[in-house]
Amino acid sequence: MKTKRIKSHFQKVDPVIYKVIVNMELEILPQPKRSTGYFKKLCREIIAQQLASKAAHAIIGRFYNLFKREHITPDKILAFSEQELRNVGMSWAKARYTRDLAQKVKDKEVRLNNLHNLDDELVIEELIKVKGIGNWTAEMFLIFTLGREDVFSHGDLGLRKAIQKLYGFKDKPNKKQINQIVNKWSPYKSYGCLALWRSVDKQD
């Protein structure tokens, strides 16, 4: 069973994170074989940036209602003005970012249909062509949409906060210190991230 193999790996390489992950109901990340839904999920990622989950869900729900249960496509988004997107609760910046994603996908400047066949670095390189999509958003897409199992996001504040707490750093750990911990987790860094997020949730 894969979950058992993953937990056994962490037991061998890092007893600190193992104490968290051993008690988790670990869900195996999805492994998509086609690109269905990538555009919609990227819209969600843009809308949800830097928002509490409750606020993000509310705005995403109103955004979906614009499409009256039809597929969300670049053309349909471009048919809405920035003001109409703003009216569902998006910031002006996110309204522009969502339309920029739609325009670049429509113009084939950004190609989503083959992302699952690219390595992590090339996926990030493709996605950050869109205004408002940086490394963090691309890394979340890698983990939660493409199911990549060996990703760690240095830009995620929750992960850094969890490492500082769990590993007893007085000050915020730097990238080199973090890498000394998480590089041991390969090929399952993403599951280490899930455990770190869980540890922060439990503290809060």
State the catalytic residues: 156
Return the structure tokens found at 136.
Answer: 């963090």
State the residue for tokens 């994603």.
101
Q: How far apart are CA 8 and CA 187, in angstroms?
A: 13
Rg (CA), the chain: 18
Q: What sign does the dihedral 98-37-128-160 (CA atoms) show? A: positive
Q: How far apart are CA 159 and CA 171, in angstroms?
A: 14
Q: Measuring CA to CA, how many Å separate 43 from each of 28, 64, 140, 154?
A: 24, 10, 13, 22
